[in-house]
Amino acid sequence: MLGVQTTARRLIRRLAGDRTLSPAMRAVGATAGMISIPEADLLYDLAREVSPGHCIVEVGSYRGRSTVALSLGAQNAGNGVVVYAVDPHQTFTGILGGQFGPKDRAAFYRTMLRTGCWENVALVNLSSERVTPGFEAPVQLLFIDGDHTEAGVRRDWGCWRSLLVASAKVAFDDATNPDLGPYKLLAELLASGEWRQAAAVGKVRVVERSH
Ligand SMILES: C[S@@+](CC[C@H](N)C(=O)[O-])C[C@H]1O[C@@H](n2cnc3c(N)ncnc32)[C@H](O)[C@@H]1O
């Protein structure tokens, strides 16, 4: 039986060479990560909309797959805004059993160099609560894909929500599994009436203010 890593490597090679995909999605496909191509396409489109002077924040970057989608959306088709990639890259076991650690930082750096995304990506190698106290850039797009426990996603949301501009969109990965934190938080935000769903692709859900 093929190992999970061998299968993942084969998939990456196939996607990287798939001529039916745009160059940006081929760059995404060539990077290890947890989002699908349609989900990456959604992030690419959301990143295009971010206005000059505003920024994108991603919580949970791993080896840079979703970061590439956000970065290239802003660089190629948008306003070249900065993507702050927030991930401590420390030893961490995700709620679904995923193993993460410092080797992912090396892979992230390689991804940035290979794709040219270093141009507008700033890696912030810390957890949200260490970052937001001194953070001043207005956030128009927030992608939360870090610690999917309820406490983890609530911590990230609590840290970043006051930095969101009025027109901000917030995307949550793994928002369709009722056992995970993003699903629970999302249900609460929608029930509050303050937020409404703006998009849904795969396991990603996007919300914006109802106004
Ligand atoms: C599911 S992976 C992210 C996948 C990535 N967005 C992609 O599309 O490939 C989760 C990441 O969250 C990171 N993480 C864990 N705790 C975190 C925290 N407190 N703040 C930011 N990132 C965290 C882990 O180090 C890991 O790299």
Please report, for the domain that includes residue 41, its CATH number. Answer: 3.40.50.150
Res 17: pLDDT: 73
Q: Is 40 among the domain residues? A: yes
Residue 19 lies in a domain: no
pLDDT in tens, 133-189: 999 999 999 999 999 999 999 999 999 999 999 999 999 999 999 999 999 999 999
Mean pLDDT of 182-204: 98
Contacts of 23 (CB under 8 A, 6+ apart): none
- Within a 10 A sphere around the Cβ of 134, how many other Cβ atoms? 6
Cβ of residue 100 lying under 6 Å from some atom of ligand 1: yes
The helix (H) or strand (E) run that includes residue 39 is helix 37-48
Q: Is residue 3 part of a domain?
A: no
Asked whether residue 6 is assigned to any structural domain, the reply reads: no
Answer yes or no: is 178 within a domain: yes
- Let me know if residue 16 belongs to a domain: no
**Residue 124 pLDDT greater than 70, yes or no:** yes
* Closest ligand 1 atom number to CA of residue 31: 9
Quick one: how far is CA 53 from the chain centroid? Answer: 20
Supply the pLDDT for residue 83.
98
Pocket test for ligand 1, best of 35, 41, 61, 91 (most atoms within 8 A of CB): 61
The tally of domains found in the chain comes to: 1
As a whole-number percent, the residues of the chain with pLDDT over 90 amount to 90
Residue 113 forms part of a structural domain: yes
Starting at the edge strand found earlier in the chain, the sheet holding 139-144 runs 121-124, 83-86, 55-59, 139-144, 164-172, 204-209, 195-201
Banded pLDDT at 5 (limits 50, 70, 90):
low
pLDDT tier at 1, thresholds 50, 70, 90: very low
Provide the CB-side half-sphere exposure for 104 (13 A, CA).
Answer: 23
What would the pLDDT profile of 52-111 be if each residue is shown by its tens digit?
999 999 999 999 999 999 999 999 999 999 999 999 999 999 999 999 999 999 999 999
Range of the domain at 121: 34-209
Rg (C-alpha) for the chain, rounded Å, is: 16
